[in-house]
């Protein structure tokens, strides 16, 4: 079971964060009813579960540093995990049909 918490301790500029094994943290209670936002975070939950949390964060940081120097757009929005989550966050049935490691196809694919 995934715990979803409301927390004002999330850094400004962010509305939610997923921390595998601990839960999903959302800044504002009104976002609990935002199905798209929850689905986005649930996609991250699956990604983190696949990489046992720690490896997800290592990859996230390494990829972000690389994207800082290799893209003219936002490094954050070009991360493979974010691209998968943003692409499918409006598809509320995506997680039922999602293949494991689906984010991999976004690592080398140009936006």
Residues 20 and 49: beta-carbon distance below 8 Å = yes
pLDDT digits (tens, 9 = 90+) for 85-108: 999 999 999 999 999 999 999 987
Indicate the pLDDT class of residue 34, thresholds 50, 70 and 90.
Answer: very high
d(C-alpha 26, C-alpha 7), whole Å: 6
Q: Is the pTM of this model over 0.75?
A: yes
Q: Say how many C-beta atoms besides its own lie within 10 A of residue 5's C-beta.
A: 13
d(C-alpha 75, C-alpha 2), whole Å: 28
Helices 54-70 and 80-88, axial angle in degrees (round to 10): 100
């Amino acid at each position: 079971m995934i715990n979803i918490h409301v927390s004002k301790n999330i850094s400004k500029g962010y509305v939610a964060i997923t921390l595998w094994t601990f839960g999903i943290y959302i800044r504002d209670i009104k976002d609990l009813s935002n199905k798209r936002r929850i689905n986005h975070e649930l996609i991250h939950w699956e990604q983190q579960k696949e990489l046992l949390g720690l490896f997800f964060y290592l990859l996230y940081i390494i990829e972000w540093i690389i994207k800082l120097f290799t893209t003219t757009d936002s490094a954050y929005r070009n991360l493979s995990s974010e691209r998968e989550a943003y692409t499918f966050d409006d598809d509320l049935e995506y997680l039922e049909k999602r293949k494991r490691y689906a984010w991999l196809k976004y690592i080398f694919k140009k936006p």
